[in-house]
Chains A and B, each alone.
Chain A
Amino acid sequence: MGRFTNQILEIMSYFSEIYKGIKTLLTGMSVTGKYFLTSRKGAITQQYPDNRDTLKMFDRFRGEVIMPHDENNEHRCTGCQKCEIACPNGTIEIIWDRGLDEETGKKKKKIDKFVYHLSMCTMCGLCIDVCPTDAIKWGQNFENSTYDRTQLTRVLNEPGSKLKPGVED
């Protein structure tokens, strides 16, 4: 009697396995089927050169390092050189000088040129993590090809710019 019941149970589990298998396969197909039907609206492909004007890169995209300036041509870089030390490739070179501060009249460290070699940058982001004043950020430009590699060496601070007051406080 017991053996007979066991065999019945085995046969039952055989068929329930088949049923479960078909059910899970259909579940998978319904998922992909929904994707198929919505693909027209939700296509993630960017048809790049065509949509160049409207293409906006996502926020966390690492294109190049930039230094934002405000409307008074003022940046936030104090010339502490932490980024230069943090960079594993020697991508950043800061050329600095001591100049007179207009308010206090004391001598003070100022950046002359923030040189950034894009050709050596691996986009690791250590310089941006380490910056105490958030002077440098990720830019979203990705069209970086040039005919001459000297064009990849950039000076990030604009000519005539100066440190924004209050950043060092």
Chain B
Amino acid sequence: MNIVFGMTYILPWPLSIASEGTLSIVEMVVIALVYLGIFSVAGLFLVLMERRVAAWFQLRIGPNRVGFQGLLQTMADALKLVSKELTGTVKSDKFLYNLAPYFVIVTALMALAVIPFTKDFHAFDINIGIFFLIAVSSIGVIGVLLGGWSSNNKFALIGAMRSGVQTISYELSIGLSLLTMILITGTLQLSEIIEVQKNGWLIVQGHIPAIIAFMIYMIAGTAETNRAPFDMVEAESELGAGFHTEYSGMKFAYFFLAEFINMFIIAAIATTIFFGGWLSPFGITESIPWLGVFWFLLKTLVLVFLMMWFRWTFPRLRVDQLLTLEWKYLLPLNLMNIVLMALMVWGGLLIRF
């Protein structure tokens, strides 16, 4: 477990004489605050991106008034949400009702800690990186379930239950499709997975089964973030706003922000596992390591765009169709794919440069 920043050298002197234990705690808190700041703003810009992209898909213009080309629109929205009154239902379970948004946002931010943006910009490089990501990203659904249950609202409860069904089902596909790629890398540590990809991105190395795994991962990932076409959880036409019907102001904003950060995380994992993370294509900028952030964000945003493309193209599935897709199609295909990948790794059929 290492925290890579080397923050110890730049701390002011009163802290430098403190004990090592205190220092590492201070270091962690500072890094956590930096991440919190960066990603709440990044989440806001993802919301803006979604709105502009949605507008372009529907032949509209989208928000373009606040700031240059509407760049400050979501900032203004966030300010408005902060200043709004927090309302709740009378017979709600107050404790759980207030706890739920934090579950959702905290798990979303926790997953960010292990994602490698460059070789050095990597807060928490543990040897079970992918395992940690899969585990943490499915805790978020507890927040959704709590929110739906404690709201004392039947629509919220139905939405939350659907979310439970959905996450339990699609968690399998996410895990198995990532496991397919782990067969190539032989390690769960994200920094080493990227090291392996210096011989070619995994989607190239593993060719056919890797592409199948990527498709399954993107489908399951979209379902995991509860986005259309899998937005049974908040199906507007059926359930009002689903599990967050009764939430307002900043608590609602947490749910909303978490959705977008989760989308970013899903895309970031796909970038790391399939598309070489911060590695540049063909190693063209290998001599300038800080450009890794640029390549990482570029790849991630392309995948985020892909998910937005899904959202504005496909109609919503019914609950039974959702389960059919997972249990009758994705899961069997995934198992076959794992066997195929294992045979390929065993037979040495990977493409390595």
Contact = CB atoms under 8 A, between A and B. Distances in A.
Contact of B60 (A22, A28, A45): A45
Interface SS of chain A: helix
B309 interface: yes
Most buried by B among A25, A33, A39: A39
A153 interface: no
B314 interface: yes
B309 A32 contact: yes
B94 to A, nearest CB: 43
B57 A36 contact: yes
B313 A44 contact: no
Contacts of B58: 35, 39
Given A25-B314, A28-B313, A29-B313, A36 B56 contact: yes
Contacts of A36: 53, 56-57, 309
Contacts, number: 42
B58 to A, nearest CB: 8
A36 to B, nearest CB: 5
A1 interface: no
Interface in A6-39: 18, 22, 25, 28-29, 31-33, 35-36, 39
A25 B340 CA distance: 25
A91 B350 CA distance: 80
Contact of B57 (A18, A32, A40, A47): A32
Contacts of B215: 22
B59 interface: yes
Most buried by A among B60, B61, B215: B61
B61 A43 contact: yes
Nearest to A28: B313
B329 A18 contact: yes
A42 interface: yes
A44 B309 contact: no
Interface SS of chain B: helix
Interface residues of B, number: 16
Interface string B198-230: 000000000000000001000000000000000
Q: How large is the interface on A (under 10, 10 to 19, 20 to 34, 35 or more residues)?
A: 10 to 19
A119 B56 CA distance: 37
Interface string A140-164: 0000000000000000000000000
Most buried by B among A36, A39, A45: A36
B333 interface: yes
A51 to B, nearest CB: 12
Contacts of B56: 35-36, 39-40
B39 interface: no
Interface string B310-337: 1011100000000000000100010000
Given A18-B329, A18-B333, A32 B313 contact: yes
A39 B52 CA distance: 11
B59 A44 contact: yes
Contact of B61 (A31, A32, A47): A47
A31 B310 CA distance: 12
Contacts of B59: 35, 39, 42-45
A168 B309 CA distance: 61
Given A18-B329, A28-B313, 5 more contacts: A25-B313, A32-B57, A35-B58, A36-B56, A43-B61
Q: Which 8 A-B pairs have the closest CB atoms?
A: A39-B56, A32-B313, A45-B61, A45-B60, A28-B313, A44-B59, A36-B57, A36-B56
Interface of B: 53, 55-61, 215, 309-310, 312-314, 329, 333
22 contacts: A18-B333, A22-B215, A25-B313, A28-B313, A29-B309, A31-B313, A32-B309, A32-B313, A33-B309, A35-B58, A36-B53, A36-B56, A36-B57, A39-B55, A39-B57, A39-B59, A39-B60, A40-B56, A42-B59, A43-B59, A44-B59, A45-B60
